Chain A
Amino acid sequence: MSHLTDLPTWAAIPVCILLLAGSAITLIGSMGLIRLKTFYGRLHAPTLGASAGTVLICTASMITFAVLQNRWILHEVLIIVFVILTTPVTLMLLGQSALYRDRIEGKNDVPRKATGEQPDTTGMDI
């Protein structure tokens, strides 16, 4: 953590607040994986880290290195953009496979497909 000692106080305070807030939110999101009891509920927990956690931590990183190197640092924006663009892919894959499995097993608390009773095997509806 040699960077933080070089950081002037006026910049260190917002950086620390952002970093702590971001990690706290991510931690709460990870706790959600234990505390929420259903699979579908657990789908929601990691999005805390993917949205607010990433944004706050990346902003802290941007401020730190912008102040240390005395120029605009913007490429952390790419991390935020790519995390937001790619999380739906994993989330949908997990959600759909859970839904597919629950339907095959005939669980009652899972909504049926609107068009018919047969399970969807094409896998094209995303």
Chain B
Amino acid sequence: MRYWFPYPLLSLALLMLWLLINQSVSPGQIVLGTALAVAFAWAMVNLQPDKTRLKNYRRIAVLAGHVAVDVVRSNIAVMGVILRAGKRPVNSGFVAIDISLRDENALALLACILTATPGTAWLEFDRQTGVLMIHVLDLENGAAWSELIRNRYEAPLKEIFE
């Protein structure tokens, strides 16, 4: 089973992608999509990506909800900063955060979350020291930032992936 389907989740995602692009769930498309999905999963074996097992499915839903709320809130906040930039100097700066997350996929997801949220930009992650450098547009409540990211994103990601 493991030999034929090395990455079941990836195959499933590829099949979904195929069906969405073709906008059809006819049996022919499902067969073709499944064949392609399995073949691409084999191709993926040669790339030797890090394998991770998702552990806590309920946390994923909670985290997704938090991220959605944060994206909306920070969109509004960043719009405010840009519109007021003429009158008030922008108080932006770098924040260094100690992160104990090591799983590559979890880090990639954290990067997507931090980038999709306007107002925080991922600059650099040092694998040796585990220090993540981000740039924050509005440093109004400075020290709170590293705590926020650690509690709100890192802790759930750790539960899900490690």
Listed in ascending order, the chain A residues whose CB lies under 8 Å from chain B are 25, 28-29, 31-32, 35-38, 40-41, 43-45, 47-48, 50-52, 73-75, 77-78, 84-85, 87-88, 91-92, 95-96, 99, 110-111, 113-115, 124-126
Listed in ascending order, the chain B residues whose CB lies under 8 Å from chain A are 17, 20-21, 23, 71-72, 75, 78-79, 82-83, 85-86, 90, 92, 94, 96, 108, 111-112, 114-129, 131, 133, 135, 137
Interface pair A96/B75, CB less than 8 Å apart: no
Q: Which 6 pairs across A and B sit closest by C-beta, in order of nearness?
A: A32-B82, A88-B115, A35-B85, A47-B118, A95-B123, A52-B75
Q: A91-B115, A111-B96, A115-B128 in contact; A51/B71 too (CB < 8 A)?
A: yes
Interface pair B75/A43, CB less than 8 Å apart: no
CB-contact partner of B112 in A29, A45, A88, A95, under 8 A = A88
Q: A35-B86, A84-B112 in contact; A44/B127 too (CB < 8 A)?
A: no
| 23 CB-based A-B contacts, threshold 8 Å | A29-B118, A36-B90, A38-B92, A40-B92, A45-B78, A50-B116, A51-B75, A75-B20, A77-B20, A78-B20, A84-B112, A88-B108, A92-B123, A95-B123, A95-B124, A110-B94, A111-B94, A111-B96, A113-B126, A114-B129, A125-B125, A125-B126, A126-B124
